């Protein structure tokens, strides 16, 4: 009998450890001045497909976007006033402020980190700029070390001036990529060891006029990169290498249903961890497009899933690759979808009420 009790106790302890190993903190940003929380925190349990509200940070009333330093458990948030750095307590999920840094650019819309580097980068939509800021060993934000103003325009009524929308480091090396919705370009820059973005682009990749480049997603095999066009709802597939960056166009696919005729803006794009499927969200149609990625990097015919709410501003594929979490901005919900691994199809599991105007989701593993 004692052996049985011991076995049950050990099994329970093992199960608890396994459950904890599978838990993640999820941070959701709110970009609405009526929200009392700028960054909300949830506990994500993928073994159960369960998202549980945990708390949030009220020191920052709004947050346009988030970035997480996974190695050092630091969270960075941007708003119209500045950039804010926090320490993440991996055990409790609590955020503790490190410092804040003001910035010059207007309309900050994206922040990113090159992992294991000593700088962060920001894209400014309204002023059409990109900038980089130094980070010290504790994750504290220093001053601006470089800022580049884009030039140009294109054919759409929203393209009378540059509108930098994303700045993203390459998976390997020292190249970074900036999408500009206003100029229909993806600009490739080289970054120095000190985080200075060199002002002359290494290369410039042109989108189809009027497309409006918004976000990029790299394929995990390192050979392809995909650009989402906000204004038309297309994805352009490109060949890619770490040495040369973006090279040739492989494919162009519309990821907005032909049956939809209303107003729409494409929003977010991600590639599954297994490299088999691409997902893109549509605000207006309130859908996620699902495309199989073929061996040559081109895309199959899209299928579609409802976003589960209104205005899917952002989404993330969870670290296990089995779920998709969608931030529906206008319905203030996070919708949790099961991802069918063989087909890529999505099944809605739950809709979780969240902060006002959610627009970014980031994960970090719980300790």
Residue 17 domain-assigned? no
Q: Which of 203, 211, 213 has the alpha carbon at shortest distance from 240?
A: 203
* 151 close to 160: Cβ distance less than 8 angstroms: no
Residue 38 domain-assigned? no
pTM: 0.93
Confidence band of 58 (pLDDT split at 50, 70, 90): low
φ/ψ of residue 18, rounded to 5: -65, -40
Query: What is the per-residue pLDDT for 1?
Result: 44
- The pLDDT of 91-108, averaged and rounded, is 96
Confidence band of 146 (pLDDT split at 50, 70, 90): very high
Q: What secondary structure does DSSP assign to 177-210, as a single string? A: EEEETTTTEEEEEEB-TTSPBPSS-SEEEEPPTT
Domain that holds residue 184: 67-206
Asked if pLDDT for residue 233 goes beyond 90, the answer is: yes
Residue 98 domain-assigned? yes
Residue 187 domain-assigned? yes
Confidence band of 20 (pLDDT split at 50, 70, 90): low
Residue 301 domain-assigned? no
Query: What is the per-residue pLDDT for 35?
Result: 82
Residue 117 domain-assigned? yes
Query: What is the per-residue pLDDT for 2?
Result: 52
- pLDDT per position as a tens digit, 311-358: 999 999 999 999 999 999 999 999 999 999 999 999 999 999 999 999
Residue 22 domain-assigned? no
CATH of the domain at 140: 2.130.10.10
Q: Residues of the chain with pLDDT > 90: what percent?
A: 87
Distances (CA, A) of 22 to 26, 72, 75: 13, 19, 20
Residue 96 is inside which H or E element, if any? strand 95-102
Residue 226 domain-assigned? no
How many structural domains are present in the chain?
1
Q: Residues of the chain with pLDDT > 70: what percent?
A: 93
């Amino acid at each position: 009998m004692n052996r049985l009790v011991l076995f049950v106790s050990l099994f329970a302890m093992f199960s608890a450890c396994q459950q904890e190993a599978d838990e993640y903190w999820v941070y959701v940003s709110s970009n609405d001045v009526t929200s009392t929380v700028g960054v909300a925190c949830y506990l994500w349990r993928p073994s159960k497909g369960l998202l549980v509200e945990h708390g949030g940070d009220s020191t920052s009333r709004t947050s346009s976007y988030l970035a997480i330093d996974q190695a050092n458990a630091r969270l960075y948030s941007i708003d119209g006033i500045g950039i804010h750095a926090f320490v993440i307590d991996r055990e409790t999920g609590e955020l503790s402020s490190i410092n804040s840094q003001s910035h010059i650019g207007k309309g900050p819309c994206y922040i990113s980190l090159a992992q294991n580097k000593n700088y962060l980068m920001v894209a400014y939509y309204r002023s059409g700029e990109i900038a980089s800021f130094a980070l010290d060993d504790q994750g504290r934000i220093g001053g601006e070390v470089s800022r580049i103003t884009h030039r140009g325009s294109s054919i759409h009524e929203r393209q009378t001036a540059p509108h930098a929308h994303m700045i993203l480091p390459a998976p390997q090396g020292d190249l970074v990529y900036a999408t500009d919705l206003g100029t229909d370009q993806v600009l490739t820059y080289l970054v120095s060891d000190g985080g200075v973005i060199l002002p002359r682009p290494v290369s410039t990749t042109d989108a189809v006029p009027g497309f409006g480049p918004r976000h990029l997603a790299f394929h995990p095999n390192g050979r392809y990169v995909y650009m989402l066009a906000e204004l038309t709802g297309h994805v352009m597939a490109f060949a890619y290498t770490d040495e040369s960056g973006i090279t040739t166009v492989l494919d162009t696919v519309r990821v907005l249903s032909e049956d939809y005729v209303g107003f729409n803006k494409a929003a977010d794009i991600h590639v599954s961890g297994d490299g088999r499927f691409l997902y893109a969200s549509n605000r207006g149609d309130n859908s996620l497009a699902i495309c199989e990625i073929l061996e040559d990097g081109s895309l199959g015919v899209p299928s579609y899933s409802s976003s589960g709410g209104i205005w899917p501003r952002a989404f993330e594929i969870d670290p296990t690759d089995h779920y998709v979490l969608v931030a529906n901005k206008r319905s203030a919900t996070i919708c949790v979808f099961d991802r069918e691994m063989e087909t890529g199809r999505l099944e809605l599991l739950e809709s979780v009420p969240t902060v006002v105007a959610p627009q970014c989701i980031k994960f970090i593993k719980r300790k």
